[in-house]
Every structure is written in C-alpha cells, then in structure tokens.
Amino acid sequence: MASAILKRVNASAMSSLVESMRIRASSRAFAAVAVGTDIVSAAPDAALQKARSWDEGVSSKFSTTPLKDIFKGKKVVIFGLPGAYTGVCSQQHVPSYKNKMDEFKAKGIDSVICVSVNDPYTLNGWAEKLEAKDAIQFYGDFDGSFHKSLELDKDLSVALLGPRSQRWSAYVVDGTVKALNIEEAPSDFKVTGAEVILDQI
C-alpha cells in the first residue's frame, strides 16, 4: 500500500516537474528575439531610460520610456553594445552610426537608437563626449531586463563589467524585427555596424 502511494506521489511530482520545465522552455523560446519577433511583446515588462543628466532625471521623477513609445508606428534602427566608455563601442560602433545618419534618413528611418546596460546618466556623459547625442538617441537598460527578455544578455565579468549585453543591431518596423545581427563575441565588430544594417533596410 505504502509502495503504491509512493509511486503515485513520485509520478505526480515528476509530471509537475516536466510541466514546469515545459512552461519555462516555452516562455524562454517566446522571449528569444529573431526576425519576425514583436520586440514590444517579447519584452512586456521592460522599459528603457533615455540618456539624461542627473538633474534631468530628478526633474522627470526618474521616468522611463515604454517600448511601444519607441517602436510602434515607426521605422527604427537599434544597436546594442556592452558598455559606455569601452574600446570598440567608443572607437567603432557608435561612430559608424553617427557618420551614416544622412543615409538612414534617406531610407526613411525615424530614429537610430543606441542601448546599453548602463544607467542613463553614464550614457548621457558618454554620448556628449562622443558628440553623438544630437544624431543618435541613447537609452539605458539599467537593470538589463530588456536584454534578458530578448536573450541578448551576456555575462562579461571576465572584463570586470558584470551582466551586460551582446553586441547587436536590428531594423525594426512598427515593433517587428525585420533584420537582426549579433556578433559572435562582444569584442567583434563584423556584422553590427551601420554599413551592414543599411544594406538590410
């Protein structure tokens, strides 16, 4: 009798475990970004923080920007990078977009956005240093939730950066990803520059 009860309990527990794993796997698959993904639906709980000074943050009551306000009804080019003030990001990635703004406008792009797992105040200072703030919209993903939802997060503790993002770029129309590029390593700069995404628009 006890043996039969134990078997039923074990079977029930195993069934619950399998179902839990199936749900987690399903959720994980839904969140992964790819061509055709609705980026707003894929990151339903995420919001980004527009680059600004600390005083501007205080006066805005530390407001955030919903993803629908960034993507819906617009043609957007967005690129993500590991961090402000880092080598490839400062010397190659941002400049490649800054120098191609006229070409993006000619193709009907409403906004070019740079996003990084940084606070918006650090991003603001970096954007000003690069003299890119007037051309590119910079947004912080301060807690990494946006990148985690899209499975574009990356642990860069080896470089003393902690949880960050992949190096990536995307062309997004009305929230839907039309083109997506992800570097094999965050230190690479082969497929995520402005020239590549321009050819995909």
How many other C-beta atoms can be found within 10 angstroms of the C-beta atom of residue 39? 24
From 89, 112, 115, 180, active-site residue: 89
Amino acid symbol at 116: S
Is 89 a catalytic site residue?
A: yes
Interstrand relation of 75-81 and 163-165 (parallel, antiparallel or unpaired): unpaired
- Which residues, other chains included, contact 181 with Cβ-Cβ below 8 Å and sequence gap of 6+? 168, 169, 170, 191, 192, 196, 197, 200
Q: SS3 of 47, please?
A: strand
Q: Active-site positions?
A: 89
